[in-house]
Each structure stands twice: as C-alpha cells, then as structure tokens.
Amino acid sequence: MATEMRGEPAATEDKDKEKKSARKRTSPVLFVRQIIAELRKVIWPTRSELINYTLVSLVFVLVMMAFVAGLDWGLQKGVFAVFG
C-alpha cells in the first residue's frame, strides 16, 4: 500500500539506540574537554575586526536610543496637547 514505508522497523531500532545514548550522562571532565575542543574550532576576530564590530554596535545602539527618545518626546508632546 502507499502508506507502508520501507525500513520502518530499522527506524524504530535507531530511535531506541538514540534514546539509550541520550539517557547516558557525560562526566564533567568529558564535558570540559568537549568545550575546549569546540573553542579551538572558533575563528576569533582580530583586534581591528573587534574594534570595528564594537564601534558598529555602539553606533547602532546610539542611533536606536536617539530614535526611541525622539519618539518618546514626540508622543509626550502629543499627549500633553490632547489631555492638557
């Protein structure tokens, strides 16, 4: 039939294996080793890239602060004009 799928029993066996392996906890030492191994894979930015990213972030935050402050000021003036 069209609803039957090939390899369905194998998929349930794989799920059982995944459940068993997912239940097993790793030791704290292994966890730290895995973290260190992952951090070695990271491509860290150079000093100039870091400065550039920081400046871009600060400028963006300042622009958004000015936008929100202007919007707040405008709405405040509008509310005072309507309600007195």
Domain coordinates in residue numbering, the chain: 8-83
Alpha-carbon distances, residue 82 vs 1, 2, 31, 76, 78 (angstroms): 71, 67, 61, 10, 6
Torsions phi, psi for 83 (to 5 deg): -100, -5
d(CA 26, CA 24): 7
pLDDT at residue 59 tops 80: yes
pLDDT of residue 1: 52
Residue 70 is encoded by which pair of tokens?
């202007």
pTM above 0.85, yes or no: no
Residue 17 binned pLDDT confidence (cut-offs 50, 70, 90): low
Counted residue by residue, the chain has a size of: 84
d(CA 3, CA 11): 16
pLDDT at residue 69 tops 90: yes
Residue 39 binned pLDDT confidence (cut-offs 50, 70, 90): very high
As a whole number, mean pLDDT of residues 52-72 equals: 98
Residue 13 binned pLDDT confidence (cut-offs 50, 70, 90): low
